[in-house]
Amino acid sequence: MTADHTRVCDLLAEYGALIDLGKFYEWLDLFAEDCRYQILPRENFDRGLPAALVYCDSRAMLEDRIRALREANKYNIHTDRHVIGLPRILDDGLAVEAPFAVYQTDQEGETRLFATGLYRDQLEISGPRLKIRDKLILLDTFAIPSLLATPL
Amino acid sequence: MVTAAIWPALDYSRVPYRLYHDDEIYAREQERIFRGPVWSYLGLDSEIPEPGDFRATWVGDTPVVFNRDKAGAVKAFVNRCAHRGALVRRELSGNAKEHICIYHQWCYGLDGSLMAIPFRRGIRGEGGLEPSFEMRRHGLRPLNVDNINGALFGTLAENPEPLEDYLGPPILHQLRRFLDRPVRVLGYNRQRIRGNWKLYAENTRDNYHASLLHEFLVTFGLDRSTQTGGVRMDARHRHNITWAEADSDTDELAHEAYAGAGVRNDFLSLKEPSLVAFRPERGDKLNIAITSLFPSAVFVQISNSLAVRQIRPRGVGEVEIFQTMLGYEDDPPEMTLHRLRQANLVGPAGLVSMEDGEAIEIAHRASRPDLDRTTVIELGGGGVISDRDYRVTDVPLRGFWSYYAELLGIEPEGAVR
Ligand SMILES: [Fe+2]
């Protein structure tokens, strides 16, 4: 069974919207029970180096990340805006690539491009829905402006 | 022109905001600190294992390349063509037999010497350079290079203090502990902070902020100021080690201390506790060891995450933190995985470090309008600068400023050192 283009687009649209709305716990529900999420600087990817900026190789670690963000971390006060490009569906229909840009806007309305890169997702079918099993965010903007708190 | 009169206090407990914002002071720092007598961290021996391997880096504003020559020795030089001042090596890393400037193809050897110039004799005897032109006088400007257990340091000073003397015994000991086995690079990360570079240098010497700004440390039980720990400096107080021992306090003690301080004291637990689990790797209990070197390097051990940070000034109002994540060559795969997980703690997205980016930016922004006002550095008391066996202190910041003042030529008479 493969994912059709519309369902992949729906998932990506939901993914970006939930982060931009700050609904991180709902965003977590887009991931499979057994999942991995990492943000890898392209500088490392190109050299075959494994260290990521965010590396959660279990659902528990991803949940801890979000809980820390909500309970402990302090960061620049801002809103995010995800602009996710057209997905490219590969192989068996469950491997997906999509380019993205995230803009950040501060409290006084100044917007800057915060990050651009490529999502490389492995999806799985979970009843009527698609879920993310493995998300590798290849980060072109690896000179992080200020700091990276909210998920990309 | 800034003078010794800028300091309102002889113990450096008051730092005028001007020092973070003035372009003329920034230019003087580049000249007298970064191009002056200090040793700067360049990179690691293990990043350039083969002859011809090179990496580009920075010493302050100065672009530098370090490489391994044919004989296996590490050489470093300013990455700027003697001809017209262009960057010679544009790539950040690679392997090469020589370095050729693309502009006019002047060619330099792995020792930085000028080896070949196209059309040196002109064409059919016309043009080119005079026969008297001395190739050997136009090489790339060399740095002195030295090495502590595989960590490479360079200096632009012609007659530098020996590196081991510059670091001093406690720092040397700590670096040798950190680098007691060959290291392996796990990756790099970079952060661009809109603030003066010295705000970051201060931040890494400031033990007081750690468990207050970085609430994750206390909330999730990784590090609390109630643990046994302190600050240790070299004799000149220019460098500092902030240290703490694992499992050296109790939840009750911490709870009481933080409640008494009026700050948050509810302790939470993680779903994946290995993120903060400390696995002792040697015969000491240190789970926090942050070694800040003057002017711009920090060797960081937080639990089992290991990193070297290079503070790269980018003008008076911006700094890049370039961080190299490390493991040891003999780490079993499981330990590498543990370090990759604990890499979540540090860097621009670090659970216990992301706040520094914000703290530095708000300090830079709010201090700019009032250049003659000052910070207040008095935790642990004013006066003498000395080691402390407690953690609620910012004394090492005064050590930093003391040496800074000496190098900039603005040390007041009678000031503490
Ligand atoms: Fe900090």
> Which CATH number covers residue A77?
3.10.450.50
Look at B5 and B1; give whichever has higher pLDDT. Answer: B5
Say if residue B142 is in the same domain as residue B234: no
Mean pLDDT, chain B, integer: 96
Lowest-pLDDT range, A26-40, A115-129, B235-249, B253-267? B253-267
Assign B218 a pLDDT band (cuts: 50, 70, 90). Answer: confident
Q: Is residue B315 part of a domain?
A: yes
Quick one: pLDDT at residue B354?
96
Find out whether B237 and B170 touch, Cβ atoms under 8 Å: no
- pLDDT for res A2: 59
Is B357 found in the same domain as B282?
yes
User: Cα separation of B244 and B38, whole Å?
Assistant: 28
Q: Is residue B113 part of a domain?
A: yes
Whether residue B306 lies inside any domain: the answer is yes
Partners of A71 on chain B (C-beta within 8 Å) are 215, 219, 268
B261-307 pLDDT per residue, tens: 777 777 888 999 999 999 999 999 999 999 999 999 999 999 999 99
Cα A83 from Cα A104, distance rounded (Å): 11
Q: Are residues B177 and B142 in the same domain?
A: no
Query: What's the pLDDT score for residue B225?
Result: 87
Q: At what angle do helices B197-205 and B395-408 cross, to 10 degrees?
A: 140
A75 within a domain of the structure (yes/no): yes
Q: What is the DSSP letter of B161?
A: P
Q: How confident is the model at residue B247 (pLDDT cuts 50, 70, 90)?
A: confident
CA-to-CA distance for B414 and B417, rounded, in angstroms?
9
B310 and B201 housed in the same domain: yes
Same domain, B71 and B106: yes
User: Which CATH number fits the domain that encloses residue B318?
Assistant: 3.90.380.10
Domain end residue (candidates: B81, B114, B147):
B147
Residue A152 in any domain: the answer is no
Task: Say how far apart CA B106 and CA B116 lie, in whole Å.
Answer: 6
Would you place residue A3 in the very low, low, confident or very high pLDDT band (cuts 50, 70, 90)? low
In a domain, B86, yes or no: yes
Rg (CA), chain A: 15
pLDDT at residue number A128 = 86
CB contact under 8 A, A64 and B271: yes
B16 is a domain residue: no
pLDDT in the model for residue B182: 97
Instruction: Give the structural domain span for A43.
Output: 5-139
C-alpha separations of B137 from B82, B134, B142, B180, B263 in Å: 9, 6, 12, 40, 62
Read off the CATH number of the domain in which B107 is found: 2.102.10.10
More confident residue, B177 or B252: B177
Looking at the structure, tell me whether residues B137 and B180 fall in a common domain.
no
Q: What one-character-per-residue DSSP string does B283-300 give?
A: SS-EEEEEEEETTTEEEE
- CA end-to-end span of chain A: 29
Is the same domain home to B246 and B139? no
Report which of residues B331 and B264 the model is more confident about.
B331
DSSP string, B184-210: EEEEEEEEEESS-HHHHHHHHH-HHHH
| Of the listed ranges A20-34, B68-82, B217-231, the one predicted with least confidence | B217-231
- Domain enclosing residue B372, as ranges: 169-408
CB contact under 8 A, B190 and A41: yes
Residues B140 and B201 in one domain: no
CB-based contact B186 A61, cutoff 8 Å: no
Count CA atoms within 13 Å of residue B128 on its CB side: 15
**pLDDT score, position B257:** 86
Which among B187, B343, B358 has the least Cβ separation from residue A74?
A: B358
Number of H helices, E strands in chain B: 11, 17
Length of chain B counted residue by residue: 417
Does residue A144 sit within a domain? no
pLDDT at B61 over 60: yes
Residue A124 forms part of a structural domain: yes
The CA distance from A32 to A28, in Å, is: 9
Quote the pLDDT of residue B41: 98
Would residue A13 count as lying in a domain? yes
**Per-residue pLDDT tens over the stretch A51-68:** 999 999 999 999 999 999
Angle in degrees, 0-180, between the axes of helices B197-205 and B354-367, rounded to the nearest 10: 130
Residue B65 pLDDT exceeds 60: yes
A30: confidence class by pLDDT, cuts 50, 70, 90 = very high
B258 CA to centre of ligand 1 in angstroms: 18
pLDDT digits (tens, 9 = 90+) for B19-55: 999 999 999 999 999 999 999 999 999 999 999 999 9
For residue B91, is pLDDT > 70? yes
Q: Which tokens is B227 given?
A: 């643990």
Give me the residues near ligand 1 (ion), CB cutoff below 5 Å: B 356
Sheet of strand B286-293: strand arrangement: A143-145, B183-193, B319-328, B305-313, B297-302, B286-293, B240-245, B229-233
Chain A contacts in chain B segment 348-367 (CB below 8 A)? 348-349, 351, 354-358, 361
Domain count, chain B: 2
What is the value of ipTM here, to two decimals? 0.96
Same domain for B262 and B210, yes or no, is yes
Is B285 domain-assigned? yes
Instruction: Examine residue B69 and state whether it is found in any structural domain, yes or no.
Output: yes
Is there a cis peptide before residue B295, judged by omega within 30 degrees of 0? yes
Query: Does any CB of chain A come closer than 8 Å to the CB of residue B335?
Result: no
Shared domain check, B289 and B236: yes
Q: Which of B78, B113, B147 is the last residue of a domain?
A: B147
User: Is there a single domain that holds both residue B385 and residue B346?
Assistant: yes
Tens digit of each residue's pLDDT (9 = 90 or more) over B366-381:
999 999 999 999 999 9
Where among B112, B147, B182 does a domain terminate? Answer: B147
Number of domains forming the structure of chain A? 1
The verdict on residue B382 lying in a domain is: yes
Same domain for B178 and B135, yes or no, is: no
% chain B with pLDDT above 70: 100
- Helix, strand, coil % over all residues of chain A, rounded to 5: 25, 45, 30
In this complex, is the C-beta atom of B272 within 8 Å of any C-beta atom belonging to chain A?
Answer: yes
